[in-house]
Structure 1
């Protein structure tokens, strides 16, 4: 199952020059805790970093720094970890676990942003799959009972 089939394709994003106030407004408006920071390259949005609500609090607010003096590019996390949309669900989970990240941008073959996957999204997906799997045994028993009656 390629992760591109399950990722959220409605990604809220910012550029490196997006002010922290604008970033916070975007998070509030769209009810998200993170923004993918992108560079526009040849008509596509290429992810270069992430900014989370926690980044804003830890890097600026907790230090009593003037919020208006910073941009998303200045506080985004270091090295961005992303995953190809063709990667499998298990591969994506392993990548997220190895890097200790809760959200991961999903990119296409051209490096452009196509979506985002979060731990919560993966938990929902796995819960659905486990629920479907749990229904196998009773159905098998019912099928066997019908076949044996004949």
Structure 2
């Protein structure tokens, strides 16, 4: 299975020049806990960072930083760990484990943002597979009883 098969294709993004307040409002409006920070040097949205709600709490709220003057670029995690849309899911999961992240921006062949892979996406896909395996077991038992009676 490839990353493109299960990732969220509409990743919410923001510019590093945006204010942290604007970022928090965007998170609230879009009901997300992460924004992919992008620059557009050639028309593609190239991921340059990630900003999470946790980043805002730890870097802005807890130290009582002056949020009105802070920009996303001041608070974001730089050099985000990414994966390619055609990458195998297990390879992306291994990268998440090795790098200690729960979300990966997904990039197209030109390096542009085309989605976001989260543990929630992976758990959802696994749940579908587990349900199908359960149905296969149940169907196998039913079939055996039909054949043997």
TM-score of the pair, normalised by structure 1: 0.93
Question: Counterparts of 1:41-120 in structure 2 under 5 Å?
Answer: 41-120=41-120
Q: Which whole-Å CA distance do the structure 1 matches of 2:109 and 2:143 have between them?
A: 44
SS of the residue aligned with 1:55? helix
RMSD of the TM alignment (CA)? 1.2
CA deviation string 1:65-86 (max 9, x = no partner): 1001111111111331000001
TM-score of the pair, normalised by structure 2: 0.94
4+ residue stretches of structure 1 with deviation over 4 A? none
Q: Which whole-Å CA distance do the structure 1 matches of 2:61 and 2:138 have between them?
A: 54
Q: Which whole-Å CA distance do the structure 2 matches of 1:3 and 1:143 have between them?
A: 35
CA deviation string 1:42-78 (max 9, x = no partner): 1110111100111111111111110011111111113
Q: Which runs of 5+ in 1 are unaligned?
A: none
Q: Which whole-Å CA distance do the structure 1 matches of 2:18 and 2:5 have between them?
A: 30
Q: Which whole-Å CA distance do the structure 2 matches of 1:51 and 1:107 have between them?
A: 17
Aligned residues: 149
